[in-house]
A and B are shown apart, each in its own frame.
Chain A
């Protein structure tokens, strides 16, 4: 018998955790002498205003990719903390593909860049997966190490053979015009819907939504997805049922790495249009929070991504409107959300369970 109804686990507990996280963040805002209520108002207006929404959707696209990446690994009971490095390597793969040819049109460049990014990201996740499955090295530690190694490889190449000699900074030359993805402004313009022209949101958003559907279909509608979930539920039972642990570990991580690498389509191909060294900007870690809040389900992840996208954009807005707060306040809010929805889950869960048990007793 379940201790409480499903909606309580999926909606009520994340909601209460979120409230607690916001209260804790509000205390920090108040501690530095700023007005928390005003901060919330500025954030909400900044996130969903006509100009801000294009940024919110842009960040949300990133978090959908990294959130889905973390979730797929979670379902196989693995903690992929290496989204940061996998996305960085994905950017390298995409950039190599995009620089190699003079692409005539983005419809050709997009699938090629996706393959380049996906292969690099998947490869970067496959090594830690193999080491975990075959040699028993803890995947959390190896993926952390691989984040740093990826950053160093990018730093080396962008200061060396891939560097644009015309600039001082570590970046490649701009990709050719045939690789530029349509922005959401271009897209909505076809249907005559007005959308901010300057926002970076581009059609990668639809790619992210497609990935979300793909992950749902994979996990709940295919044999492989069933095997991944069975392995995550009970390693021994899965092995007894003839599921290969090595195979599932590597496949789940390869999918996870490839999903994380798609972030580079949104950022490198869609926005910066050249490879820069620090383009991931912590989105790999935010993916952990997104997967936790979204309960590792694609629908939940889409909603959590929108929330975190709004936070990132709204937080940037705060620093303009309220000079006493720096934009790093967003990190504090994200930290509080990870803390309350992830690590301190039982803080909320235990009392809620008690309430439901008491309610049930009274009914009987």
Chain B
């Protein structure tokens, strides 16, 4: 393989990594809002799945991918609301609520899909305006002749769907909200020490509900991207564990926005590698099986959690329902 070919492979892998990491970034940020506010969310997977179905179905019926996004956000927010009612209002177990919502999404998407489209839970394939179109950034064509930088700009950075660019704008926005606004300060406080917020006269319940609902919006976007941008329609269980990879990325990032993006990009890269190069031959000595690349995110997370490489300390009040003192 000469250098030109290697460069081509590099462009291909980088481009695919970005495409695949978008879902992870959105879901990871969703988990970040929720968990920084002290509400564990293992239902990211379920929220994305129901959102993916809603976006595919509505987009197919209306012919508008943006209406699909709206439907996805609504569906995901309904799930988020159930999670909020169970874990905030009724102070139930947040993990059990998450498990229930994942089950509900797995079942409901297929039951509804089967009833409406009779295709074993799938929606019909989407095309044209039912999907998102690629956007060519300005000067992509003119710059593509510039060596090295040109192809990187034209093939890797340009030519993605609008949701991709929106996602990469949400990352700094999240940083700004979390660390530069009063809302963000309160959100972080409610996850560390809700009593202090209560003492200051701020509603713990309202703060936590807003966090959980923001997580709903972001999972909605993730689901819509999955079904109407990355794929062309809904397939059963199409999230395929990405909600849990996002959870792993969140721990990997130690619950911080920029790191969440980098962790998601890393895990997106691993997914791209396992797609493009299933079994990697290492100098003819041994072979790295595709399964290893696929579970590397989980293994890395366990290592990080175990504190062998830098300790990941979750928000202190995470998982604990808040009981107001009387």
Q: Does B239 make an interface contact (CB < 8 A)?
A: no
Complex Cα spacing A32 to B108, Å? 10
Q: Does A237 make an interface contact (CB < 8 A)?
A: no
Q: Which of B102, B103, B241, B289 has a CB less than 8 Å from the CB of A148?
A: B241
Number of interface residues of A (CB under 8 A): 48
Q: Which of B82-120 contact A (CB under 8 A)?
A: 82, 85-87, 90-97, 99-104, 106-108, 110-112, 114-115, 120
Q: Do the beta carbons of A141 and B114 come within 8 Å of each other?
A: no
Q: Does B244 make an interface contact (CB < 8 A)?
A: yes
Complex Cα spacing A328 to B244, Å? 22
Residues in A with CB closer than 8 Å to B101 are: 335, 339
Q: Do the beta carbons of B305 and A156 come within 8 Å of each other?
A: no
Complex Cα spacing A28 to B314, Å? 37
Q: Does A140 make an interface contact (CB < 8 A)?
A: yes
Q: Do the beta carbons of A137 and B104 come within 8 Å of each other?
A: no
Complex Cα spacing A145 to B248, Å? 8
- Smallest distance from the beta carbon of A13 to chain B beta carbons, Å? 13
**A144 with B42: in contact, given A138-B305, A343-B97 (CB under 8 Å)?**
yes
Q: Which of A79, A330, A346 has a CB less than 8 Å from the CB of B90?
A: A346
Q: Does A246 make an interface contact (CB < 8 A)?
A: no
Q: Does A325 make an interface contact (CB < 8 A)?
A: yes
Complex Cα spacing A144 to B299, Å? 11
Complex Cα spacing A332 to B109, Å? 10
Q: Which of A34-73 contact B (CB under 8 A)?
A: 34
Q: Do the beta carbons of A328 and B295 come within 8 Å of each other?
A: no
Complex Cα spacing A37 to B91, Å? 33
Complex Cα spacing A219 to B247, Å? 34
Complex Cα spacing A32 to B107, Å? 13
Q: Do the beta carbons of A144 and B247 come within 8 Å of each other?
A: yes
Q: Do the beta carbons of B90 and A345 come within 8 Å of each other?
A: yes
Q: Which of A332-354 contact B (CB under 8 A)?
A: 332-336, 338-339, 342-347, 350
Closest chain B residue to A33, Cβ basis: B115
> Interface readout for B298-325 with A: 1 if CB under 8 Å, 0 if not?
1101100111000000100000000000
Complex Cα spacing A325 to B96, Å? 26
Complex Cα spacing A360 to B256, Å? 52
Complex Cα spacing A337 to B131, Å? 36
Complex Cα spacing A135 to B307, Å? 7
Q: Does B294 make an interface contact (CB < 8 A)?
A: yes
- Smallest distance from the beta carbon of B106 to chain A beta carbons, Å? 5
Q: Do the beta carbons of B111 and A141 come within 8 Å of each other?
A: no
Residues in B with CB closer than 8 Å to A136 are: 307
Q: Do the beta carbons of A338 and B111 come within 8 Å of each other?
A: no
Q: Does A155 make an interface contact (CB < 8 A)?
A: yes
Complex Cα spacing A334 to B251, Å? 29
- Smallest distance from the beta carbon of A11 to chain B beta carbons, Å? 20
Q: Do the beta carbons of B100 and A342 come within 8 Å of each other?
A: yes
Q: Do the beta carbons of A344 and B104 come within 8 Å of each other?
A: no
Q: Which of B42, B86, B97, B101 has the most C-beta atoms of chain A within 10 angstroms of its own C-beta?
A: B86
Q: Does A324 make an interface contact (CB < 8 A)?
A: yes
**A346 with B302: in contact, given A141-B247, A335-B101, A339-B86 (CB under 8 Å)?**
no
Q: Do the beta carbons of A131 and B302 come within 8 Å of each other?
A: yes
Closest chain B residue to A32, Cβ basis: B115
**A338 with B305: in contact, given A144-B244, A145-B298, A324-B115 (CB under 8 Å)?**
no
Q: Which A residues are closer than 8 A to B by beta carbons? A: 28, 32-34, 79, 81, 131, 135-138, 140-142, 144-146, 148-149, 152-153, 155-156, 160, 285, 288, 292, 324-326, 328-336, 338-339, 342-347, 350
List 6 other contacts, CB 8 Å, given A144-B247, A332-B111, A346-B90.
A135-B307, A145-B244, A149-B295, A160-B289, A328-B111, A333-B107
* Interchain residue pairs with CB less than 8 A apart (5): A328-B110, A331-B103, A332-B108, A335-B101, A345-B90
Q: Which 9 A-B pairs have the closest CB atoms?
A: A331-B107, A343-B97, A335-B103, A335-B104, A32-B115, A137-B305, A332-B107, A326-B114, A342-B96
